[in-house]
Chains A and B, each alone.
Chain A
Amino acid sequence: MKPRRKAVPGMRSRRTPTVRRIRPAITPVPPTSRPATRPAGAAAPPASGQAGPRGPEPALDVLGGRPVRLAVDLGRGLVLTNPVIAASGGCGFGVEVAELVDLPRLGAIVTRGVAVKPAGGQPAPRTADVPAGLLIGVGPQHPGLQQVVDRYAGTWARWPVPVIVNLGGASAGDLAEGARMLDDVAGVAAVEVNLSSGGGARVFGLDAASTSSAIAAVRRATDLPVIAKLTAAAGDLRAVAKAAEEAGADAISAINTLPGLAVSADRGGAALGSTYGGICGPALKPVALRVVYEVVQAVDIPVIGIGGVATVDDVLDFLALGAVAVGVGVAALADPMLPVRLADALADACRERGLEDVAALVGTALPARPGPASTRGAEYAR
């Protein structure tokens, strides 16, 4: 038997691998204390949660050029370093894309939908190509909220980006239970309530009363910021948004996918195993813009625009209609770095226009006086 080599102090072992040190091309900005830009009247962050801003102060002159302020306050202490977030479904639970994405440069990450009870998802096939988009019928697939928290929250807590959990449930009680489980968890920055979920045929987001009960239940169960995610399938979105605001939502995200259908290649049935799927991608953008336009005029809380964002022009469109932030969903599947590049492009767009704060781009396309509601169908004919 070969004797083990003894370590001689001061002598370098021959087996030590050479570590090549590569100097980063960009010197990282050292994290400073929390931004001092919070409005005086804003609510203080809860002492229990991790809802506060954890990223560095958005000094965005890293690549040269004038600094542009991109930070967005979504209320209750949830401050994003920039207004581009990875929307629910586009990045799983975040850990899957952690190696592919420059996390500190994301505004926030929203997890895929979870609920208290585990779910196995829909049968295959789960995606179908549709013009200018993708029809997705994945369905809820997760190991249950407790498992998700146990597995991932520790990782989230170490990340320099706020992680928002997308929460679904069959009843208001389910939602409340889920929100309670998330309440004190380090690493969870906010809860996004999926109002397109629900038990059986009843979906919360379709009418104001159900929305109100769902959001109120979550509001009572947690001190975290609560974001209500609307569905465009509702009849009167202004009333639904108003109900969410009055029930205690801190922000609104709009919209979720719209239910759709595709026919299989042999025309023997639906293309998806789940029959119905959700339409994502640019096909959804005009609907999302319409919803944001209506909701922004109905409520005073911040609105996050989601639906078909793939280029910086899409981001600017949503901001012009009054959204303070945008979510990138299906487009991030092919290109996980897209949200980060959109944030950079947004800063450039501000510089081009000589603006120092992205807030100056918000709401430029809104009418001086609230416009009429759109959703009655017949009104288009006028």
Chain B
Amino acid sequence: MRLAGAELVERREVLPGTFLTAWHAPPVVTGARAGQYVHVRAVDPGGLPRRIPFPIATADAATGVLTLLTSGTGWAGTVRVGDRADIAGPLGRPFEVDPRSRHLLLVAEGGAIVAVRFLVDEAVRDARSVVLLFGAATASSVYPTSLLPDEVEYVVATADGSLGHRGSVADLVREYEAWADQAFAAGPPSLLATLATQAAGRRQRLGVATLGRKRGGGRPPAAGSTEARRKAFLQVAVGQSIGCAAATCLGCAVEGADGVALRACREGPVFAADELAWPEP
């Protein structure tokens, strides 16, 4: 983790009430990976110093600029170009892409798209094919294609059918699950639970044989290790509110598969889907 006194270099409204803010913060950008977040020191009007977690939307090492998707309310509504903020990061554990994966399926809903947005850049850089499935309430809140690289296949579902598929983004996943080598998702807990359930039955549906020692044999990697996550089909970024980012306040706990609370700030925010306990969708 590094601290930077960042300067706001650009702020524009990309969706109603949602702003893309670009910050010049070279120390934070260095080494940032998709799935990680930054903790921005905000000033609460009530006098309580707070830090707000933001997933890194993009980070450009050449210019030292990172972008965040912020709301227009509270502290984020008051910042203007030229303002400075104290940004800590990059924090948390990133998405782990298996080096052998050629086809990546990205699934996101609403503002949570920002958590997988950086992974698009990384995948395109590494010459992987990317399909991004995006769900929104209505056409006016669909993430603009102009903010995505051209190489991405972008498929949209809206709840009211005003653009693309009518219904949940989870309905689109079936079409791509055979094509995908790995999937990465971000969104509300209900979507993640649906996807986790689907992913658990995927091998059986597709008739993928389990060839015992194919991947080097030996003991499977420990749950939660980088190795285990790299091998997992579905990785999810949880949207827990992170208070301290130092693993002290335990406010960001997520229930693990074995019932033990995991901390989104330290063990996450990215988890392999089978590490977490999922409610019935």
CB contacts (< 8 Å) of B48 on chain A: these are 132-134, 281-282, 308, 310, 330-331
Q: Which residues of A contact B44 (CB under 8 A)?
A: 132
Min C-beta distance of A114 to chain B, whole Å: 13
Contacts of A131 in B (CB 8 A): 46
B240 at the A/B interface (Cβ < 8 Å)?
yes
**A234 to B254, alpha carbons, bound, how many Å?**
33
Contacts of B46 in A (CB 8 A): 131-133, 281-283
Is B244 in contact with A126, judged by CB distance below 8 angstroms?
no
Complex Cα distance, B253 from A331, in Å, reads 20
How far is the CB of A374 from the nearest CB of chain B, in Å? 23
Quick check: A138 and B250 within 8 Å, CB to CB? yes
Chain B residues near A (Cβ < 8 Å): 41, 44-51, 240-241, 243-244, 246-255, 259-261
Inter-subunit contact B243/A141 (CB<8 Å): no
Q: Would you call A138 and B259 a contact (CB within 8 A)?
A: no
A125 at the interface (CB under 8 A from B): yes
A126 touches B251 (CB 8 A): yes
Chain A contact residues, CB within 8 Å of chain B? 89-92, 96-97, 100, 112, 120-121, 123-127, 131-134, 136, 138, 141, 281-283, 308, 310-311, 330-331, 333-336, 338
Q: Is B253 in contact with A334, judged by CB distance below 8 angstroms? A: no
Q: Are A91 and B49 in contact (CB under 8 A)?
A: no
Q: Given A97, A127, A310, which contacts B248 in the complex, CB threshold below 8 Å?
A: A97
CA distance A132 to B261 in the complex (A): 28
Known contacts: A120-B259, A124-B255, A125-B240. The answer to whether A334 contacts B49 by CB under 8 A is yes
Contact of B261 among A121, A133, A310 (CB under 8 A): A121
Known: A123-B255, A124-B240, A124-B255. A310 touches B47 (CB 8 A): yes
What is the predominant secondary structure among interface residues of chain A facing chain B? Answer: loop
- Expressed in whole angstroms, the Cα–Cα distance for A22 and B107 within the complex equals 48
**Nearest CB in chain B to that of A89: its residue:** B249
* Contacting residues, chain A, for B261 (C-beta < 8 A): 120-121, 141
Residues on A with C-beta less than 8 A from B249 are: 89-90, 92, 127, 136, 138, 333
- Residues of A within 8 Å of B248, CB to CB, are 90-92, 96-97, 112, 333
Asked if B244 contacts A334 (CB within 8 A), the reply is yes
- If A97-B248, A100-B246 touch, whether A310 touches B49 (CB-CB below 8 Å) is yes
Smallest CB–CB gap between A263 and chain B, Å?
Answer: 16
Do B241 and A333 have beta carbons less than 8 Å apart?
A: no
Assembled-state Cα–Cα distance A124/B240 (Å) = 9
| B46 and chain A: residue at smallest CB distance | A132
Q: A78 CB to closest chain B CB, in angstroms?
A: 23
On whether the beta carbons of A136 and B47 are closer than 8 Å, the reply is no
Chain A residues in 8 Å Cβ range of B244:
333-334, 336
A121 to B172, alpha carbons, bound, how many Å? 37
B255 touches A333 (CB 8 A): no
Bound form: Cα–Cα A90–B251 in Å? 11
Contact A138 B251 (CB under 8 A): yes
| Chain A, residue nearest B41 (CB) | A334
The answer to whether B253 and A121 touch across the interface, beta carbons within 8 angstroms, is yes
What residues of B have a CB within 8 angstroms of the CB of A90 in the complex? 248-249
Residue of chain A at shortest CB distance from B250: A138
Which 7 interchain pairs have the tightest Cβ spacing? A132-B46, A92-B248, A333-B244, A127-B251, A281-B48, A334-B51, A96-B248
**Residues on B with beta carbons closer than 8 Å to the beta carbon of A97:** 246, 248
B253 contacts A124, C-beta separation under 8 Å: yes
- Closest CB of chain B to A378's CB: distance in Å? 29
Q: Which residues of B contact A134 (CB under 8 A)?
A: 48, 50, 243
Contact between A338 and B255 (Cβ–Cβ < 8 Å)?
A: no
Are the C-beta atoms of A338 and B243 separated by less than 8 Å?
A: no
CA distance A338 to B97 in the complex (A): 39
Q: Considering the chains assembled together, what is the distance between the CA atoms of A165 and B279 in angstroms?
A: 36
Q: 25 A-B contacts, Cβ less than 8 Å apart?
A: A92-B246, A92-B249, A97-B246, A120-B260, A120-B261, A121-B250, A124-B254, A126-B250, A126-B251, A127-B241, A127-B252, A132-B44, A132-B46, A133-B46, A134-B50, A136-B251, A141-B250, A141-B253, A310-B48, A310-B49, A330-B48, A333-B249, A334-B41, A335-B41, A336-B244
